[in-house]
């Protein structure tokens, strides 16, 4: 799991407490205290006062949570509006994710999974390919939560059917969680949580139980929530949120 440790080059090495402070862990004095109390791991070893690290390559953990010190790594949450394709370089010239990023990132970003053009909500963007792969792969079990507006009225048995599993043309599928949020006349709002990412999976499952989706919003990816981010808006993830993503894929000390 751990990368082979090598001494950082003199021109890139910095005091560990300085690197931790720059990453937002705390003041230099507070970071020195964390190191002294043996709460910091660097490349699989307990750190000690006086250690120097290369912030671009070191794997640093504080109390078992990953601390990102590579300033070139980018982690962004974007609220994809309806009608926008999940692409950063659409060949057909359609409205795409890049149209909402008013910052020129040095490295190419990748979207973590997709939302079809008619769906909206949370998309994560990053240039951390390893983390992106783990977040997308179903074997890591990272859940995605959706708010779906569906055709009603909705029988009580729908949730049980979806949690037990339904048969689709490409195999069985089931949700991890289902909750009725609201019901007004012939329309209902439900919250659906699942960890797999087959194409149009939520829409196909709801079609199978006889309640087609009329609007679909992804509200969370693992520990990251959409919150009050406006449609078309984006924000950089906080250090604690990035650490929570690593924890969600089992990448912790």
* DSSP-assigned letter for residue 96: B
Bridge partners of 14?
53
Q: Is 95 helix (H, G, I), strand (E, B) or coil?
A: coil
CA–chain centroid gap for 188, Å, is: 27
**Consecutive H or E run containing 11:** none
CA–chain centroid gap for 52, Å, is: 30
Cα dihedral sign, 41-44-50-55: negative
Crossing angle between the packed helical segments 239-248 and 129-136, to the nearest 10 degrees: 50
**Consecutive H or E run containing 163:** helix 157-164
Task: Decide the pairing of beta strands 120-126 and 213-221.
Answer: parallel
Distance CA 193, CA 48 (A): 42
Find the largest Cα–Cα distance for the chain: 69
Catalytic residue among 33, 54, 90, 116: 116
Segment 99-102 long-range contacts (CB within 8 Å, at least 24 positions apart): 100/232, 100/233, 100/234, 101/76, 101/125, 101/234
- Judge residue 247's burial from the number of C-beta atoms within 10 Å of its C-beta, 0-12 exposed, 13-18 middle, 19 or more buried: middle
Residue 116 a catalytic site member = yes
Q: Known catalytic residues?
A: 116
């Amino acid at each position: 799991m751990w990368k082979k440790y090598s001494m950082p080059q003199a021109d890139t090495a910095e005091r560990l407490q300085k690197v931790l402070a720059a990453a937002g862990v705390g003041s230099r004095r507070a970071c020195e205290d964390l190191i002294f109390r043996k709460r910091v791991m660097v490349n699989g070893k307990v750190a000690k006062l006086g250690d120097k690290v290369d912030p671009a390559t070191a794997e640093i953990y504080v109390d078992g949570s990953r601390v990102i010190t590579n300033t070139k790594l980018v982690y962004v949450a974007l609220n994809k509006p309806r009608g926008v394709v999940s692409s950063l370089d659409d060949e057909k010239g359609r409205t795409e994710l890049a149209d909402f990023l008013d910052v020129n990132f040095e490295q190419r970003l990748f979207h973590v999974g997709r939302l079809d053009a008619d769906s909206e909500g949370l998309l994560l963007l990053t240039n951390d390919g390893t983390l992106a792969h783990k977040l997308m792969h179903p074997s890591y079990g990272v859940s995605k939560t959706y708010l779906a507006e569906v055709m009603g009225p909705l029988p009580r048995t729908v949730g049980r059917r979806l949690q037990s599993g339904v048969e689709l043309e490409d195999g069985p599928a089931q949700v991890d969680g289902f909750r009725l949020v609201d019901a007004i006349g012939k329309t209902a709002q439900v919250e659906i949580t699942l960890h797999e990412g087959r194409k149009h999976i939520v829409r196909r499952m709801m079609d199978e139980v006889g309640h087609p989706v009329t609007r679909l919003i992804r509200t969370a990816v693992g520990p990251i929530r959409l919150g009050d981010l406006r449609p078309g808006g984006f924000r950089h993830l906080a250090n604690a949120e990035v650490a929570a993503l690593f924890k969600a894929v089992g990448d912790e000390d």
